[in-house]
Amino acid sequence: MSEEEEEKQRIPLRTPYKMGSFQLSHRIVLAPLTRQRSYNNVPQPHAILYYSQRATQGGFLVAEATGVSDTAHGYPNTPGLWTKEQTDAWKPIVKAVHAKGAVFFCQIWHTGRVSNTGFQSNGQSPISSTDRELTPQLEDNDADTTQFSPPRRLRTDEIPKVVHDFRIAARNAIEAGFDGVEIHGAHGYLIDQFLKDQVNDRTDQYGGSLENRCRFALEVVEAVSDEIGADRVGIRLSPFANYMECGDSNPEALGLYMAEALNKYGILFCHMVEPRMISPGVRVECSQSLFPMRKAFKGTFIVAGGYGREDGNKAVAENRADLVAYGRHFLANPDLPKRFELDAPLNKYKRETFYTPHPVLGYTDYPFLEETDGYIGGN
Ligand SMILES: Cc1cc2nc3c(=O)[nH]c(=O)nc-3n(C[C@H](O)[C@H](O)[C@H](O)COP(=O)(O)O)c2cc1C
């Protein structure tokens, strides 16, 4: 078969794509996935195998949400990027992913009020755009609840310091060898707590109008772009989601405003979570669409949320996305790009080990296609 014929036969998800200066060989992206196996906020050697299992020549991976400072955490054993020890600990992980020929970005994160005093030094209150407290949430095991402490509303004059923390974390990401960063502006965490009118009740220049609510996010984008170059910066947004009681009265306007405003900074990509993912892990039917934002944003547009092989192919074929990020399927199928190419069955993900601290179980022990047939479940 000639190269041209081969190209024609490729499924849309397996076609090459140039993202800025990065030449990708396919469009199946590893979505950022918190795995809570970074003891004491330090990335661990077992992550070398986990990420390199999912790396392919010309693939694109986004590392799990990584804290930008010692006030950024709200879950146990999530990694950070504010100390030298953390930065150095990422190095062998990044090196292993690069050895496989993949492009690797780190997602940088601040949880804001999705935290409690136990995660904060000296038992301080978590910081947020607001002092409104979150109600306790049922954990993934459906039995325990997570308790949140009342947050402390950031004073206007403290906000530049938090923006600076994102800048330093981005600098450290580059020092660790990452190709760039994805700013976590989704899912009810600190940036989203500024973006959404259900949470942001500020009366200063960071609250009220759409422009004001987006100011913090855009200041972070500007600082990070200034530090490492806009061609190494992406952002993840979920305007339609209401995770962690963080919804907005007009998500279309919010998403569109951000997509247009981001063009000013020339960042590499905008990664948006589908409106159908209104709450974590639950896909609902809905008529809303990311298409207006896709059209408005001038860089690479990545979509995520509830995608399988068929609708991922369709999104690319219909030009509704440049790249498709996969969370749970990639977690459970280290060779997801190959399985999609062959239309092979997928391993089922095991929800009960998503966040357990074990260095192997439910982490690096999902089998590859050739390993065992017995293990392979349905789709
Ligand atoms: C175990 C787990 C951890 C996650 N951690 C993150 C995270 O660190 N950052 C983030 O932006 N999204 C996170 N998500 C959301 C995923 O990136 C993705 O958007 C979501 O799972 C929906 O995509 P999917 O249907 O392909 O799984 C997480 C999801 C799961 C299941």
Task: Read off the pLDDT band of 141 (50, 70, 90).
Answer: low
Q: Is the pLDDT of residue 201 over 60?
A: yes
- pLDDT of the residue at 136: 87
Q: What is the rounded radius of gyration, in angstroms, for the C-alpha atoms of the chain?
A: 20
Q: Is the pLDDT of residue 98 over 60?
A: yes
User: Which candidate, 56, 54, 47, places its Cα nearest to that of 360?
Assistant: 47
Q: Is the pLDDT of residue 376 over 80?
A: no
User: Which residue did the predictor score with more confidence, 288 or 169?
Assistant: 169
**Region of poorest pLDDT, from 53-57, 277-281, 290-294, 314-318:** 277-281
Closest Cα to atom 29 of ligand 1: 33
Q: What is the helix (H) or strand (E) element at residue 182, kind and residue range?
A: strand 180-185
> What is the rounded CA–CA span in Å between residue 351 and residue 245?
22
The pLDDT tens digits of the residues spanning 263-281 come to 999 999 999 999 998 766 6
Average model confidence (pLDDT) across the chain? 94
- Between the alpha carbon of residue 348 and those of residues 89, 334, 378, the distances in Å are 30, 12, 7
Mean pLDDT on 205-226 = 98
Closest Cα to atom 4 of ligand 1: 33
- pLDDT of the residue at 251: 97
Helix (H, G, I), strand (E, B) or coil at 78: coil
**Region of poorest pLDDT, from 52-66, 88-102, 201-215, 270-284:** 270-284
- pLDDT of the residue at 375: 43
Task: Read off the pLDDT band of 216 (50, 70, 90).
Answer: very high
Q: Domains in the chain, ordered, with CATH?
A: 10-116+159-374 (3.20.20.70)
Ligand 1: lining residues by beta carbon, under 6 Å: 31-34, 64-65, 107, 184, 186-187, 236, 273, 277, 304-307, 326-329, 354
For the question of residue 189 being annotated catalytic, the response is yes
- pLDDT of the residue at 378: 38
Helix (H, G, I), strand (E, B) or coil at 22: strand
Taking the whole predicted model, whether its pTM rises above 0.85 is answered as yes
> What is the rounded CA–CA span in Å between residue 19 and residue 61?
13
Quote the DSSP letter at residue 188: T
Q: Which of 189, 243, 326, 363 is catalytic?
A: 189
- pLDDT of the residue at 377: 40
> What is the rounded CA–CA span in Å between residue 313 and residue 125?
45
- pLDDT of the residue at 379: 37
